[in-house]
Amino acid sequence: MPDIRFFTQADNKAVSAKADKVAKSVPLTGYFSPTGKLVLPTKTVQAMSDLNSVRAIKIGSPAEKRKLTVLYLIPTDEQDAEGFPVTSTPRGLTIELAQILTSGRVDYKTEKYSFTLKPFAYQEGTTGYELSLTAKLAQPKAPYMGKPRGRKPKAK
């Protein structure tokens, strides 16, 4: 008697491409406004569910560094004297940091700074966030490559 492999109903179903797709994680990003506010966009806040109800955040940097390249955000309660108040706006959450950025040699007025957030375990049950700053250099505007418009110059 030959060996027989029997099929099941599951073998007959076509594999859909949608089932194989892995859910993309939202990159946790933000930026500094020209007025010196740290801005966490709405998509970032929604991805960080523990920041939805926070009204104050402790902000720190590595102790041995003078120039700010990394900031640490630790959610805290409103009664904490070291916590910075969080303001809710239609675009997300903002924190006023103008003086800290100036003393940390971050020229937020002339350059556009953005950052990425990475969660880390701070203490028991507390998740902190590490902000890595990146400066977006202003690119000069590309010259117009289309057809010239308007009146033609007079011939000499």
Q: How does pLDDT run along the chain (156 residues), one tens digit per residue?
A: 456 565 667 766 665 544 444 445 667 888 888 898 989 888 888 887 777 778 888 888 888 777 888 888 888 877 777 888 888 888 888 988 888 888 888 888 888 888 888 888 887 778 888 888 887 665 677 888 888 788 888 887
Taking CA 79 as the corner, what is the angle to CA 38 and CA 48, rounded to the nearest 5 degrees?
45
Q: How many domains does the chain have?
A: 1
Specify if 45 maps to a domain: yes
| pTM, entire model | 0.67
Give the domain extent around 58: 26-136
Taking CA 101 as the corner, what is the angle to CA 53 and CA 111, rounded to the nearest 5 degrees?
105
Specify if 108 maps to a domain: yes
